[in-house]
Amino acid sequence: MAKVKADSLKDLRLRRSAKWRGFESDVLPLPVAEMDFPIAKPIQDELIDMIKRSDTGYGGIIPELPAAFAGFAKRRWDWDVDVDQFHLATDVGVAGVEILRLVTQPGDKVVLNSPVYMNFFTWIKEVKCEPVDVPLIPANGEWALDATALETAFADGAKAFILCHPHNPVGHVFSREELEKIAHLAAKYNVLVISDEIHAPLTFAEAQFIPYLAVNDEARAHGVCITSASKSWNLAGLKCAQIISQDAAINDLLAGLPISTTWRASLFGGWASVVAYNEGTKWLDAVMDNLDENREYLAKVIKKYLPKAKYSIPHSTYLAWIDLRAYEIEKPADALHEKARVALSHGEEFGTTGEGHVRLNFATSKANIKEAIKRMAEILEH
Ligand SMILES: Cc1ncc(COP(=O)(O)O)c(C=O)c1O
């Protein structure tokens, strides 16, 4: 398939998503995780057809969706999904919060690995629990799970662990060994692993994504997967996430989800996801080729214009985690927004290990990537 090209800035500025409306018109916005590419044609066609037929009602249970996801998971990861252990939710955030409600009481501890997707902290706060941070360990441009600290946190009575797999913002794809370790500890200490796999289809060719529930029986007996087509096919506004289990006891637990969880997903999101999983692979692969080039291009322009910044090329997703500590600026995203007119995600929101960092979304044109880095350099290098 031909390359998927980013829309022009003129067209992007006509979009009404928060990314494009949330900043002054001279700011180049590269924070929120959505892509600047046009969505896949089969998804466009499906949505246009639904609108033309006024097919705009409630969704409810859509049996075609588990079947489509299972087909995609089999083809992409050789994962056998049980279509009878499948729930919907408005989005992955709602899925995470509703599952946390099932297994925690206010004051309980929930583990995460910073620097991590900032909303994991807000999900935990929403259910009045306490986050317990087990930071990832940086190792020569790669990242690793701190299994010893994870065991300490589990032994200390944590009720759940939100695993970001693949990891936003560092792009780490957990290895089989790491996943087996997590599964073993979860079984030993009876901790529910909520594996957020929303970025999984965005994994680059050099890494092998292994779905957490495909690891072994221990993982299945203490794990649940939450995911959505929203990240990989750019459908966040359509609101539909999937909750998947592969164990009778976990399925019974999930039967305790409020019935409204499924009904609060949207019909558009449900059917766009069916089409994404069934027919969206060609588009996704073309986008991945583009992102592959962009992640390397970004390394090149960072090296040229921001020589003191550190950026390790991610193995998944279109987010770049950039260490700006050498420039010694407190809250660099604030300064860069104000003075360089580039909006980036604030590293400190990803946990204390994120201080001095920014996250940049490279699912855009190379011109925008270069412009952002040059604007940043004008402030940081002078
Ligand atoms: C790890 C992770 N989980 C969940 C989400 C949000 O998903 P949703 O919009 O379906 O709530 C994001 C968005 O960037 C994310 O990175």
Q: How far is the CA of 328 from the centre of ligand 1 (A)?
A: 30
- In the Cβ-directed half-sphere of 344, how many Cα atoms lie within 13 Å? 35
Q: How confident is the model at residue 49 (pLDDT cuts 50, 70, 90)?
A: very high
Q: For ligand 1, atom 5, which residue shows the shortest CA distance?
A: 92
Looking at residue 203, its pLDDT comes to: 98
Domain CATH code at residue 271: 3.40.640.10
Residues 102 and 71 in one domain: yes
Residues 161 and 22 in one domain: no
pLDDT single digits (tens) 60-115: 999 999 999 999 999 999 999 999 999 999 999 999 999 999 999 999 999 999 99
* Minimum-distance ligand 1 atom for the alpha carbon of 317: 16
Helix pair angle (64-77, 281-305), 10° resolution:
60
pLDDT single digits (tens) 179-208: 999 999 999 999 999 999 999 999 999 999
Burial 227-254 (b: 16+ CB within 10 A, else e): bbbbbbbbbbbbbbbbbbbbbeebbebb
Looking at residue 1, its pLDDT comes to: 76
Environment class of 352 (CB within 10 Å of its CB; exposed 0-12, middle 13-18, buried 19+)? exposed
pLDDT single digits (tens) 270-313: 999 999 999 999 999 999 999 999 999 999 999 999 999 999 99
Residues 171 and 223 in one domain: yes
- Enter the tokens of residue 375: 């604007």
Looking at residue 225, its pLDDT comes to: 98
* Minimum-distance ligand 1 atom for the alpha carbon of 95: 11
| Ligand 1 pocket member 91 (CB < 6 A) | yes
The rounded percent of the chain whose pLDDT value lies above 70 is 100
Residue 49 lies in a domain: no
Residues 247 and 299 in one domain: no
* Minimum-distance ligand 1 atom for the alpha carbon of 33: 14
Residue 47 lies in a domain: no
Nearest partner of 336 among 287, 283, 380, 280, judged by Cα:
380
- Per the DSSP assignment, residues forming a β-bridge with 361 are 319
Residues 189 and 142 in one domain: yes
Q: Is the dihedral of CA 113, 123, 237, 373 positive or negative?
A: negative
Among 256, 279, 302, identify where a domain stops: 279
Whether the per-residue pLDDT at 382 is higher than 90: the answer is no
Environment class of 353 (CB within 10 Å of its CB; exposed 0-12, middle 13-18, buried 19+)? middle
Instruction: Please give the tally of structural domains in the chain.
Output: 2
Q: What is the mean pLDDT of the chain?
A: 97
Residues 207 and 191 in one domain: yes
Q: How far is the CA of 308 from the centre of ligand 1 (A)?
A: 30
| Ligand 1 pocket member 92 (CB < 6 A) | yes
| Ligand 1 pocket member 118 (CB < 6 A) | no
Q: Which domain holds residue 299?
A: 9-41+281-380
> Which pTM value belongs to this model?
0.98
Tokens 């190379």 locate to: 366
Residues 303 and 353 in one domain: yes
Q: For ligand 1, atom 7, which residue shows the shortest CA distance?
A: 92
Looking at residue 172, its pLDDT comes to: 98
Residue 341 lies in a domain: yes
- Go through the chain and tell me how many residues it has: 382
Residues 98 and 224 in one domain: yes
| Ligand 1 pocket member 242 (CB < 6 A) | no
- Enter the tokens of residue 26: 């001279």
